[in-house]
Amino acid sequence: MNSNNRFGMRNGASGRLLGRNGHDELVCITTELLSYEWLTFRKLSAGGFLLMVESTGTIGKLYPIQRTDSNSPYLNIGEASNQFGLHKLTGSVFRRFEWVVPNRLARSSAPYYEGDDSDQGINETSIEFLVSRGIKNIISLNSIELSPRERDRLCAADISYSHVRSLEFTAPRQKQFDQIWKAYEKAGATIVYCGYGDGRTGMAISAIQLFEGRTLGDLDYRANGVQCPSQLAALNDLSERIHGQSDGLLNMQPPSYTAWHPRKGGDRMRGDEIVEER
């Protein structure tokens, strides 16, 4: 912290501070905490912080520091953004939105995602986005469950919400695949998201396709965004469990499920159990 009570972030290896150079590139270049190294931390309503910097020639206007992509260790300065509550975003509320099956199954990033699972948020703007596309069901693989207030907003909009807790670069349990299918099977138009909208979302999309009777391999899983060997292995185990390999014939019927009953005092379940709101 300098004499103006400004904080900076120092690279442990080089001892230099994170900031901007004259070309507005994010670098660790100086050992002094000057104006180019001043950082602003904005607390997000869903938890966590958004890291902001000023840009050259735009005093007082803040820009977000973002990862280049979900897997990259590198950071860059994002574009100017509009404010919705305490969140900052550019473009769509649900970034990377696309239909996997038109009007039936969609995928995207978490709403208001800026680089961390805790960025997600449900408000009037995000609900308007979902309603305008006919989305009636959310399956979230985010590591953080929506707050009761956010789930109430979805319920008021007649949008169901299922939370299957999943961590980045981690394979789910087989029962979690079953939970994903149960949340999707008899629901209306569904959107699946995690954080960035790639690996965990791709696992859920692949699992749904397997339950529907498709025969998929590693290349198909990769095309869906699945990222690490443990995730691929879990999907191959699911494929064998659904289709079987004893006689080379496909068994198109999904495995049986135990009937779900809400607990007393509500239907929230903790940990990596499913959370359903209807």
Are 150 and 175 a contacting pair, CB within 8 Å? no
pLDDT tens digit at each of 278 positions of the chain: 555 556 777 888 888 887 777 666 777 877 877 666 667 776 554 345 567 776 666 556 677 776 555 445 566 776 544 333 333 334 568 988 999 999 999 999 999 998 889 889 999 889 999 999 999 999 999 999 999 999 999 999 999 999 999 998 888 899 999 999 999 998 999 999 999 999 999 999 999 999 999 999 999 999 999 988 999 999 999 999 998 853 333 344 444 433 333 333 333 333 334 444 44
Residues of the chain with CATH 3.90.190.10: 98-257+266-277
Q: What pLDDT was estimated at residue 20?
A: 72
- Could you tell me the pTM of the whole model? 0.58
Cα end-to-end span (Å), the chain: 48
CATH number of 98-257+266-277: 3.90.190.10
158's CB contacts (< 8 A; 6+ apart) are 136
Three-state SS sequence of the chain: CCCCCCCCCECCCCCCEEEECCCCCEEEEECCCCHHHCCEEEECCCCCEEEEEEECCEEEEEEEEEECCCCCCCEEECCCCEEECCEEECCCCCCCCEEEECCCEEEECCCCCCCCHHHCCCCHHHHHHHHHCCCCEEEECCCCCCCHHHHHHHHHCCCEEEEECCCCCCCCCHHHHHHHHHHHHCCCCEEEECCCCCHHHHHHHHHHHHHCCCCCCHHHHHHCCCCCHHHHHHHHHHHHHHHCCCCCCCCCCCCCCCCCCCCCCCCCCCCCCEEEEC
pLDDT tens by residue, 21-69: 766 677 787 787 766 666 777 655 434 556 777 666 655 667 777 655 5
